[in-house]
Amino acid sequence: MSTKRPQRPMTAKAKGPRYAVGFIGGGNMATALIKGFISAGLYRPQELCASDVDAQKRQMLKRRLGAATSGDNGAVVRDAKVIVLAVKPQIMNAVLAEIRPAVTPAHVFISIAAGIPTRRLEAGLGPRARVVRVMPNTPALLGKGMAVAVRGQHATAADERLALKLLRAVGKARAVSDERLLDAVTGLSGSGPAFVYLFAEALIAGGVKAGLAPELAEELALQTLVGAAAMLQDAGETPQRLREMVTSPGGTTLAGLNELGRRGFTDGVSEAVVVATRRSVELGQG
């Protein structure tokens, strides 16, 4: 006579996060990171999700990159373990208050908002929130970015390594231990691309003023910047030495450099970095 074995009660399978990385904000930097993660093979499009109040941005992310999108910030936090905070500093407090009910100890938050210190992020997200603060820049859109990260008091070394791994999908990244340095990073590499673009505009305008057709002036200026940047990275020389190599006594380059000096070019650029740094500090103070 056979007896039936008692059936074990069925238990629900543990439900893990739907997405590997969620983005709060779907602007240019979030788009660059999503694109970089996919291109580097870190994640498949369906493993990424982004929220944004702008329906057109959500449609663009879904159409161009295949990422999931949502209009609900809290839903993204509930559905992903790693959250990239990619909103403007001015609305960060409101966003933190909105998503706080969905925050758990398992979450890792990576903030790319300029100026917002980890203490403010931790206070807004709740006790023992794991936060890594990052300052990237817009060349990440082409995989040529530069980013610096610092971890908050509750984030682990593994959280920091994860943030660096993600950032290196769109360029170079390094970590610092002193969070105060991130304001200077913001002033230099965060704002710096705009200073370079303004210099490019000035080069083009100078070429046109000297008699070149606008399209030729633009081609010459942009390729000059590309070549100079390559020399700075690959020639193994300091910027000063490279400048001296181009500058002949009594030549055209010296004449131009003297004019830049007369107009305060070097002081103006360095002071722009200082002023941008100061503004980062102000943003952090709310």
Question: What's the number of domains the chain is made of?
Answer: 2
Residues 50 and 89 in one domain: yes
174 and 278 together in one domain? no
Burial track 17-44 (b if 16+ CB lie within 10 A, e otherwise): bbbbbbbbbbbebbbbbbbbbbeeebbe
Angle at 28 between CA 155 and CA 269, to 5 degrees: 85
Q: Is residue 158 part of a domain?
A: yes
- Asked whether residue 1 is domain-assigned, the answer is no
> Quick one: pLDDT at residue 271?
97
Span 16-34, pLDDT tens digits: 579 999 999 999 889 999 9
The least confident of 4-13, 100-109, 260-269 is: 4-13
127 & 196 share domain: no
Residue 174, domain extent? 19-179
Which tens digit of pLDDT belongs to each residue from 187-216? 999 999 999 999 999 999 999 999 999 999
Return the closest-CA partner of residue 89 out of 56, 65, 111. Answer: 111
Closest CA to 65 of 99, 39, 89: 39
Band of pLDDT at residue 185, cut at 50, 70 and 90: very high
Same-domain check for residues 206 and 171: no
Same domain, 35 and 151: yes
Are residues 142 and 244 located together in one domain of the fold? no
